[in-house]
Amino acid sequence: MTVKRQYTLPYCQLILEGLTASGNDSHSPLTVLMNVECYLPGTTQGSLSGGREFLDSLVAAVSRYGQQLLSGVTVPAKAAPTEPPWVDLKSGPDSCHHLLVRSQPLDHSPLVSPEDLIPVDIPLSTVQFHDLMEAVDQLLADTQTLPDLTAQFQALPRRLVKPSIAFSQQALPATLGAVALAAAGLAFFFIPPPQIKPAKSSQRQSPALVSTASGQPPALAAASSPAITAPEQLALLQRDLTQRLQSNWKPHPAPSQNLVYRLSVAADGDIVAYKYTTHQALQEVDRTPLPQLSFDPVATANPSQEPTAQFRATFTPTAAVRVEPWSAAGTLTPVAKAELPEITSPLKAGDRIRQLNAGLYDQLLARAKPLSTSEPLTYRVRLNQTGIIVAYQPVTATAGLLARETPLPALAAAPDQASSDPQADFKVVFTATGVPQVNPWDGWP
Amino acid sequence: MPVDSPPGFQSPLILEALPTPALPGDQCPRRAKTQLDLLLLAIEALDLTSSEVMLEIARELGLESVIKGRVNLWLLRSTNPMRRYSQRRPMQIEEAKALVILTAHQCRRLTVLMRQLLMGYHQLQEQQLSPHHHLRLADYLNRFRSHFRSRMNPQRAGVIVYNTDEKLDQLAIALLEQMLLCSGVLGPQRLWSSLFDGEVL
Confidence of residue A335 (pLDDT cuts 50, 70, 90): very low
Q: Are A62 and A118 in the same domain?
A: yes
A187 occurs within a structural domain: no
**Backbone torsions φ then ψ of A41, nearest 5 degrees:** -65, 145
A164 occurs within a structural domain: no
Provide, as residue numbers in chain A, all residues whose Cβ is less than 8 Å from the Cβ of B131: none
A60 occurs within a structural domain: yes
A401 pLDDT above the threshold of 60: yes
Give residue-wise pLDDT tens across range A168-216.
888 899 999 999 999 999 999 998 888 888 776 554 444 444 443 333 3
- Residue A234 has a pLDDT of 83
Asked whether the beta carbons of residue B119 and residue A138 sit closer than 8 angstroms, the reply is: no
- Residue B28 has a pLDDT of 86
List the single range of A11-15, A184-188, A214-218, A377-381 with lowest mean pLDDT.
A214-218
Q: Are A227 and A321 in the same domain?
A: yes
Q: Are A142 and A235 in the same domain?
A: no
Q: Are A22 and A80 in the same domain?
A: yes
Q: How many domains does chain A have?
A: 3
**Can you give the residue ranges of every domain in chain B?**
27-184
Contact between B38 and B117 under an 8 Å Cβ cutoff? The reply is: no
- Among candidates A95, A138, A155 on the partner chain, residue whose Cβ is nearest the Cβ of B200: A155
> What number is the average pLDDT over the span A156-163?
74
Give residue-wise pLDDT tens across range B55-100.
998 899 888 888 888 888 888 888 988 888 887 888 888 889 999 9
Contact between A39 and A13 under an 8 Å Cβ cutoff? The reply is: yes
- Among candidates B181, B183, B197 on the partner chain, residue whose Cβ is nearest the Cβ of A155: B197
Q: Are A25 and A125 in the same domain?
A: yes
A186 occurs within a structural domain: no
Q: Are A26 and A152 in the same domain?
A: yes
Residue A93 sits at the chain B interface (C-beta within 8 Å): no
Type of residue numbered A91: S
- Among candidates A71, A125, A133 on the partner chain, residue whose Cβ is nearest the Cβ of B197: A71
- Among candidates B194, B199, B201 on the partner chain, residue whose Cβ is nearest the Cβ of A67: B194
Residue A372 sits at the chain B interface (C-beta within 8 Å): no
- Residue A332 has a pLDDT of 42
Which of A405, A392, A284 has the alpha carbon at shortest distance from A339? A392
Residue B115 sits at the chain A interface (C-beta within 8 Å): yes
- Residue A394 has a pLDDT of 84
- Strand blocks (E) in A290-337: 308-315, 321-325
Provide, as residue numbers in chain A, all residues whose Cβ is less than 8 Å from the Cβ of B201: 157-158
- Residue B8 has a pLDDT of 57
Residue A140 sits at the chain B interface (C-beta within 8 Å): yes
Confidence of residue B112 (pLDDT cuts 50, 70, 90): very high
Provide, as residue numbers in chain A, all residues whose Cβ is less than 8 Å from the Cβ of B35: 71
* ipTM value for the complex: 0.89
A344 pLDDT above the threshold of 80: no
Strand partners, A157: B200
A128 occurs within a structural domain: yes
Q: Are A64 and A22 in the same domain?
A: yes
- Among candidates A130, A156, A157 on the partner chain, residue whose Cβ is nearest the Cβ of B180: A130
Asked whether the beta carbons of residue B198 and residue A67 sit closer than 8 angstroms, the reply is: no
Q: Are A121 and A261 in the same domain?
A: no
- Residue A176 has a pLDDT of 95
Report the residue of chain A nearest B116, measured CA to CA: A127
- Residue A308 has a pLDDT of 80
Choose one of A128, A144, A159: the last residue of a domain.
A159
- Residue B4 has a pLDDT of 62
Taking the complete model, does pTM exceed 0.80, yes or no?
A: no
A445 occurs within a structural domain: no
Confidence of residue B36 (pLDDT cuts 50, 70, 90): very high
Which of A396, A436, A441, A437 has the alpha carbon at shortest distance from A423? A441
A78 occurs within a structural domain: yes
- Residue A256 has a pLDDT of 78
A296 occurs within a structural domain: yes
Provide, as residue numbers in chain A, all residues whose Cβ is less than 8 Å from the Cβ of B189: 151, 153
Residue B179 sits at the chain A interface (C-beta within 8 Å): no
Q: Provide the 10 A C-beta neighbour count for residue A356.
A: 23
A222 pLDDT above the threshold of 60: no
State the residue range of the domain holding A398.
350-440
Asked whether the beta carbons of residue A151 and residue B197 sit closer than 8 angstroms, the reply is: no
Q: Are A305 and A361 in the same domain?
A: no
**Backbone torsions φ then ψ of A108, nearest 5 degrees:** -80, 55
Give residue-wise pLDDT tens across range B133-164.
889 999 999 999 999 999 999 888 888 888 89
